[in-house]
């Protein structure tokens, strides 16, 4: 066990998507290091199973980021202060579907749900927010806050995912700016885990394409424990607020955590401010910082 992680024992972390993949690996590492971990999970029964497997001090609460009513219920049910909020849950949408609130599934789950959750929990967060983005954000050259549902543009799974992750990057940029502006002790971090052999796109019905991707992932991708290291790095290392952490291997696919560069589009403060304003309207939530 990393001494830098066990030094955080007793602190409280909320991890979304904590039952599978990166979220499971992150929550497990934190619980085994002695942190008090809230497992935010769509499937509470599986969450309880994971809590038993992890050991330590784990609490399970239901959360579906594709349903803003669930997001609000989670925030209401969660008592007490939070040291770390880890926005890990995400989806790679294989079909053009909508959330319970009518948003395109990718943008709703990967950005608008976490945005609302963070706004609602921010008054109780004391140390750090980590949002898991992706270097797939480079696949989106811009984002139009007035067309988050991709109505004016042809919808494809990669385009949906890339735009949702660019939204996460821009949200992180604006949140970091706001936190700095008010002198907040809270830091905002962004990560990309590289290519991880997880179940984010685990759709066996895709047939041979799925088998090819899974086969390549088993050879060339990080496993979930290695992928979680970028998030844990943010919690344990003295890096600057607003940092984007990736991995040091070829093409950023696998390796050890390292500070990473982001796309030009992900550095656009004006676009970030416009996106933030639109997200507040769509989610009906506002940040306590301005």
Catalytically annotated residues: 161
Query: What's the token pair of residue 178?
Result: 């706001």
Quickly tell me which residue has 């809270």 as its tokens.
Answer: 186
Q: Give 22: exposed, middle or buried? Use CB within 10 Å, 0-12, 13-18, 19+.
A: buried
Q: How far apart are CA 1 and CA 5, in angstroms?
A: 8
Long-range contact set of residues 45-51: C-beta below 8 Å, sequence gap at least 24 = 46/19, 46/20, 47/18, 47/19, 50/18, 50/19, 50/24
60 touches 105 (CB < 8 A): no
Give the closest residue to 131 by CA, choosing from 139, 146, 121, 143: 121
- Sequential DSSP letters for 153-188: S---HHHHHHHHHHHHHHHHHHHHHHHHHTT-S-EE
Give the neighbor-by-neighbor strand order of the sheet with 57-62. 57-62, 36-41, 12-16, 82-87, 125-132, 187-191, 244-247, 257-259
58 touches 31 (CB < 8 A): yes
β-pair type (257-259, 244-247): antiparallel
66 touches 57 (CB < 8 A): no
């Amino acid at each position: 066990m990393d001494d830098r992680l066990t030094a955080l024992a007793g602190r409280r972390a909320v991890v979304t998507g904590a039952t599978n993949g990166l979220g499971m690996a992150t929550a497990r590492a934190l619980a085994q290091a002695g942190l008090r971990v809230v497992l935010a999970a769509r499937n509470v029964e599986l969450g309880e199973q994971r809590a038993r497997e992890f050991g330590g001090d784990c609490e399970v609460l239901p959360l579906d980021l594709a349903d803003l009513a669930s997001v609000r219920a989670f925030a209401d049910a969660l008592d007490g202060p939070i040291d770390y909020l880890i926005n890990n849950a995400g989806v790679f949408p294989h079909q053009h579907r909508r959330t319970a609130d009518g948003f395109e599934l990718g943008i709703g789950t990967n950005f608008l749900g976490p945005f609302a959750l963070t706004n609602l929990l921010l008054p109780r967060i004391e140390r750090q927010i980590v949002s898991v983005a992706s270097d797939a954000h480079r696949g989106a050259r811009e984002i139009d806050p007035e067309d988050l549902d991709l109505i004016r543009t042809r919808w494809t799974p990669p385009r949906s995912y890339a735009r949702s992750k660019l939204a996460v990057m821009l949200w992180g940029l604006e949140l970091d700016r706001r936190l700095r502006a008010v002198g907040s002790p809270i830091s905002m971090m962004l990560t990309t885990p590289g290519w991880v052999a997880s179940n984010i796109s685990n759709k066996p019905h895709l047939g041979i394409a799925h088998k090819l991707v899974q086969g390549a992932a088993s050879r060339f991708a990080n496993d979930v424990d290695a992928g979680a290291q970028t998030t844990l790095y943010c919690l344990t290392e003295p890096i600057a607020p607003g940092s984007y952490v990736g991995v040091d291997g070829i093409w950023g696919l696998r390796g050890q955590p390292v500070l990473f560069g982001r796309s030009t589009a992900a550095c656009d403060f004006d676009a970030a401010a416009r996106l933030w304003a639109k997200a507040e309207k769509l989610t009906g939530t506002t940040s306590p910082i301005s």
